[in-house]
Amino acid sequence: MVGQLSEYVKALTSELSEKKIDVNVVTYDDRLTGETQESSGVKTVRVNNPVKTHIGVLTWVLTLNQEVERVSANLYYDSNKKIDLINVFDWHFIPAAVTLKNGLGIPFIYSIESLEEHRSPTANSSYNMAIKSIEWLGFYESHIAIVKSEWMKEEVIRIYKVPKEKIAVIPSTQEATVNKILKIYHSIREEPRNKT
Amino acid sequence: MMLSWEYPPRVIGGISPHIYFLSKYLSKQNVKVYVVTCDFPGAPAHEVIGNVEVYRVDSYKSPSPDFATWVYLMNMNMQKETAALMKKIGDKVNVIHAHDWLVANAGIGLKHVFRKPLIVTMHSTEMGRRDGLHTTAERMIHETEAWLTYEAWKVICCSDYMITHVRYAFGLPNDKLAMVPNGVNTHSYEFDNDCEIFRAKFALPEEKIALFVGRLVYEKGVQILINAVPKILAKVNTKFIIVGSGYMKEQLLNIVQSMGLEHKVLFEGFMDETTLQKLQKCADVSIVPSLFEPFGIVALEAMAARSPVVASDTGGLSEIIEHDKTGVKVYPNNPDSLAWGIIKILKDETYANYIRDNAYRRVQERYDWQKIASDTKSIYEAVLSEYSKSFWAKTV
């Protein structure tokens, strides 16, 4: 666990699984790599970085993405190509989601916990700008972006000029959170694939 | 599907001409080739050259703090664009062929997403370029190279020396490695050239021309040539022409200045291809004093231009040059030995002509692109035959 995202995704995926949704979680762990079946029914695949030495966070994230992409592609083929949707949380695995979308035609949702603009408010180094460019790519390539507050929606519109129709606000504190997310999942699944 | 960070007109090192000729001659052997590469000012995003389709992707989409980070960010975009292209053209792509670590992420990612075999050509290694691994960035690049060769179905190297080096550096099994030499286009040197007039731009009529072509970096050994200059000048009146640029340029200029030899050693920087070929044809000797050289394409080009070559007895150069027959081999990192080799060529016109003729014949016999493309095609076919029996072939 690095932040609150870990617990949030665990709770969300468990509830989705209870609602008979097949959920696969692809995540990072430096040691506990491989596939596990959680008691909730969620299948979790943990990957580590194929390159151990790095000069910064960006190179670490970008090489880790390839492992995320590899196991996601394996899940896709192992399920007879029946992965309907990818939900990517924050900027870290956007590169993998974008390639999987463009190569295999799987639409993806971009769920935003925080933005680089807020994490590093005054920093505009090329490092920060690179992360912002990946966030922008996530908004551009995703089918829909999910934020947790109206304030964040306004921020996404202000910083990345994302059309407001593309942003859904689903606060995580509401009891109906999962149902709302599920409704979005179903709406994307029912749309023709050529839209993605 | 060929992936490379450079393709003409973007020329940074030897990979660019390699991809150009390999794809051109593969397509002449009925292999449909798609090349995905980095963009270049003025070059179209999509270009059809013969039967080769070239796609240039935006390589500066994300700002990057340093070169290595840029490489991984460029790969992110190259991978995305190539994935969309491969989806669009359907099942026409049989193999993915990645050249060097610079496209490692894209090659590995596309391999898994489309479940296609990955073939890798290792043109060089970080360990060889840096003479060891000294910094965090160098170790990161080395590990990326190791990861790329691990993911590859087959790893192609351009010399027996590189096969041994790559096997040692990444611990690869023998049957994963294949040797296909680099090639040179001898036809591009078949033009009339009035050396009497052209050489006057660089040297006095009584001066011999000694030519160095290459990046001005440590492993290319240009500093050894500079150290040998006074010894050569003591015996033969020569003008030394240095073509290329690199991080050592300032340092080398200072050394030449401190020796008082600015009038004898000319730093020409980058040179357009036509001028360079004319110069190679007029050069009385071409010098390749490298400390690390996976192949040594510059030596091959000089041989195609009928310029006698003096080269370090190291790496791929040792295999290209047969001493006293197709060139002169000297001890690496040894200015005395280098001076001896250069003087030997410059003082004996008959010997120089003997070397010229033999070297030209050798290039035509062994380093023809038609043969290299044919060898590469055979590797593709062998890999595809193995792949067809794998479970991957049944799941896509």
CATH topology of domain B186-366: Rossmann fold (3.40.50)
pLDDT for position A173: 62
Domain locations along chain B: 2-183+369-395, 186-366
Residue of B105, B108, B134, B392 to mutate, interface with A, max A Cβ within 10 Å: B105
Residue B273 pLDDT level (bands cut at 50, 70, 90): confident
Contacts of A77 in chain B (CB under 8 A): 115, 395-396
Residues of B with CB under 8 A from a CB of A: 61-66, 68-69, 72-73, 75-76, 79-81, 83-84, 86-87, 105, 108-110, 112-115, 136-137, 139-140, 143-144, 147, 395-396
Q: What is the mean pLDDT of residues B207-223?
A: 94
pLDDT at B12: 83
At the second CATH level, the architecture of B2-183+369-395 is 3-Layer(aba) Sandwich (3.40)
Contacting residues of A for B127, CB less than 8 Å apart: none
> Between A124 and B178, whose confidence is greater?
B178
CB spacing of B65 vs A77 below 8 angstroms = no
Evaluate whether B2-183+369-395 and B186-366 have a shared fold: yes
Are A126 and B63 an interchain contact pair (Cβ–Cβ within 8 Å)? yes
pLDDT, one tens digit per residue, over B165-205 is 999 999 999 999 999 999 988 888 888 878 889 999 999 99
Residues B298 and B284: their CA atoms lie apart, in Å, by 15
Contacts of B71 (CB under 8 A, 6+ apart): B5, B101, B102
Domains of chain A: 5-21+53-189 (3.40.50.2000)
Residue of A nearest to B85 (CA): A103
Per-residue pLDDT, A196: 40
Share of chain B above pLDDT 70, in %: 100
Helix (H, G, I), strand (E, B) or coil at A82: coil
User: Mean pLDDT over residues A29-35, rounded?
Assistant: 89
Q: B112: which chain A residues are within 8 Å (Cβ-Cβ)?
A: 66, 69-70, 73-74
How many whole angstroms separate alpha carbon B307 and alpha carbon B285?
6
Mean pLDDT of B236-248: 95
| Packing angle of the helix pair A57-78, B67-88 (nearest 10 deg) | 20
* Residues 122 through 151 of chain A touching chain B, CB cutoff 8 Å: 125-127, 129-130, 133-134
What are the tens digits of pLDDT across the range B84-135? 999 999 888 999 999 999 999 999 999 999 999 999 999 999 999 888 999 9
Closest Cα partner for B143 from A56, A51, A59?
Answer: A51
What pLDDT sits at residue A195?
A: 43
Nearest residue of A to residue B147, measured between CA atoms: A50
User: Which of B354, B348, B328, B16 has the alpha carbon at shortest distance from B182?
Assistant: B16
The answer to whether B118 and B108 are in contact (CB under 8 A) is yes
Kindly tell me if the per-residue pLDDT of A194 is higher than 60: no
User: Is B65 in Cβ contact with A103 (below 8 Å)?
Assistant: no
Q: Helix-strand-coil percent breakdown of chain A, rounded to 5?
A: 50, 15, 35
Q: Does A127 sit within 8 Å of B68, measured CB to CB?
A: no
Instruction: Name chain B contacts of A100, Cβ cutoff 8 Å.
Output: 83, 113
What integer pLDDT is reported at residue A1 of this predicted model? 63
**Pick from A59, A77, A99: CB nearest B140:** A59
- B76:A95 CB<8 A: yes
pLDDT for A174 beyond 90:
no
Inter-chain touch B136–A53, beta carbons under 8 Å: yes
Which residues in chain A have Cβ-Cβ distances shorter than 8 Å to B68? 55, 59
A-B contacts (CB, under 8 Å)? 107
What CA–CA distance (Å, rounded) separates A41 from A25? 11
Interchain pair B72, A62: CB under 8 A = yes
Q: Are A14 and A38 in contact (CB under 8 A)?
A: yes
Task: Report the half-sphere exposure of B236 (CA within 13 A, side-chain side).
Answer: 23
Complex-level ipTM: 0.92
pLDDT band at B50 (very low <50, low <70, confident <90, very high): confident
Tens-digit pLDDT profile for residues B349-379: 999 999 999 999 999 888 989 989 999 999 9
Whether chain B has a CB inside 8 Å of the CB on A59: the answer is: yes
B272 vs A66, residue with greater confidence: A66
Out of B61, B73, B137, closest to residue A55 by CB: B137
| Interval A115-119 mean pLDDT | 94
The pLDDT tens digits for A44-79 are 999 999 999 999 999 999 999 999 999 999 999 999
